[in-house]
Structure 1
C-alpha cells in the first residue's frame, strides 16, 4: 500500500536533513512541494516525478499528494524546517481520510539560526509568525504582548514581506513595552544553507532594511547577553 510522507527537510542544506528524511525522499515515487523547497533537494529528486507550486498553493499541493497516494504512488510532500511548524503536517492530517500518513520531523529555522548565533534559546521560548495571511494581526499583536511580558525568548518567523513592510517594526515596539532597548537580537538570513548572513544587534538598533522573508529573528529575554560574536541565554546553571 502506498504511503504519504510529510517531510521536514530542515533549513535547506543537505547536511541538516535527517537520515530518515533523506531515506523517505529516496524511496518516494513523487515529491511535492513549494518550488524553491524542491530545488533545495538537488540530486535527491533526480528521475522522480515532481509537482510544485508557488506561494499560496499549499492546499493544492496537499490535495495532489493525497490523490497520488490513492493512485498507488509513494509520495513525499516537503516543507522546510519541521513539517509540523508552519508546514504541511496540519493540512495533510485534516484532509487525509483513507491513506497512511507518516510525519518526518526536521530541524526548524529557529534552531538552525540559534546554533549559528550561539545559544540564544537555552530557556523557555516561543515562535511567532508575523504573517497575517492566515492569522489576524490583532491576534499576532496579542501573542507578542503576552510573550514579551512573560519574558520568553521570542523567535520571529516571516518577519517582513513586500506587503508587510511595517509589521516587524510594530512587533518590536510591542516587545519594547517589556524589554530593554539593549536586549540582544540575532538576525539570520538563509540559515543553514548557501548565502547565510548573520547579524547580532539589539532591540533598539535593528536595521529593518536588512530584514526580509528569508530571515528569522531571535529576541533574547531579560537575561540574554552578547559574548564576543555569540548570543547566550543562561539556563541558570552555577558555572563558577
Structure 2
C-alpha cells in the first residue's frame, strides 16, 4: 500500500466550515494525528486510528506521522484553522528537512482551511479589507523582544493586525504589554475586536476602542483584531459593522 501524508485545516470550529477536500481526506485516512482537542473533533470509525498528543510536541507529532506514512498508512495531520498559519504544516516540513531522505519522496499535500482570523473578521464585516499582518503573541517559540519589535513596526506602518494566542494564564503580562505598545504608538481610538470561539456555541464578539481594550478581554480562545487608522465602524442595532476601505488617501 502506498502511504500518504495530508496536512489539513479543520477551520475555526463549526463542522460546516470544514472544506469538502478536508472531509474527503479524513474519510480516506487510516490515521489522524494532532493536538488533543483537534483530534477529538474527528468521529471514530472502523479502520481509523486516532493519535492525539499535547500541544508542545509538534515535531514529535510530525515525525510520528511521517514514519507512519512511510510504512504505507494514509495519515492526516489536523490543525485548527489553516494548517499553514501558526500550525502543523511548518512542523511537518521542518521534520522532513531534518529527517531521513525517504521522507522527501512521500506523497505530502497541504489542504487549506478557514482561519480563526478570517472567521473573526467575517463576523464583523471587513476589518482586514486592506493591508494587514498576523502576529502570534505566544513567546513559546520566539523571544518576547522579537514580538515587541514586530508590534511596534506593524503599528508604525499602520497595518490592521490580527493577534493569535493573545493571553494565557501562564503569561498574562504579554498582552497587557502589547496593548501598551499599541496605545503608545497609535495614539487613537481605532476599533479592537475580541472574537472568542468563533463559529462555536461559546462564540462571543466584542468591539471596543483601543484605549478601552483591556488584557482580561482576551484568552487563548480569543482572536484579537486591531484596525488601522483608516478602519471605520458603522453603528447599528446589534453588532456594529467594521471595515477597512480598500483605498488609502495620501
TM-score range, shorter chain: over 0.9
- 2:45 corresponds to which residue? 46
**Aligned residue pair count:** 236
**Range moving further from structure 2, 115-124 or 172-181:** 172-181
- 2:114 corresponds to which residue? 107
Is contact 2:81-2:114 (8 Å) kept? yes
| DSSP 3-state at the match of 1:101 | strand
The root-mean-square deviation of aligned C-alpha atoms, in Å, is: 1.5
Question: Which deviations, in whole Å up to 9, do the C-alpha atoms of 1:208-231 show, x marking residues without a partner?
Answer: 223100001000000112112121
**Range moving further from structure 2, 174-183 or 198-207:** 174-183
Is contact 1:189-1:216 (8 Å) kept? yes
- 2:177 corresponds to which residue? 170
Runs of 4+ in 1 over 3 A off after TM superposition: none
The 2-side partners of 1:204 and 1:181 are apart by: 8
| TM superposition shift of 1:55 | 2.1
What is the 5 A alignment of 1:75-114?
75-96=75-96, 97=103, 98-114=105-121
Is contact 1:24-1:76 (8 Å) kept? yes
Structure 2: 5+ residue stretches without partners: 97-102
| TM superposition shift of 1:24 | 0.5
Is contact 1:127-1:155 (8 Å) kept? yes
**Range moving further from structure 2, 148-157 or 179-188:** 179-188
Is contact 1:20-1:104 (8 Å) kept? yes
- 1:61 corresponds to which residue? 61
The TM-score, its normalising length taken from structure 1, stands at 0.94
Q: Is 1:235 paired with 2:234? A: no
The TM-score, its normalising length taken from structure 2, stands at 0.90
Is contact 2:179-2:213 (8 Å) kept? no
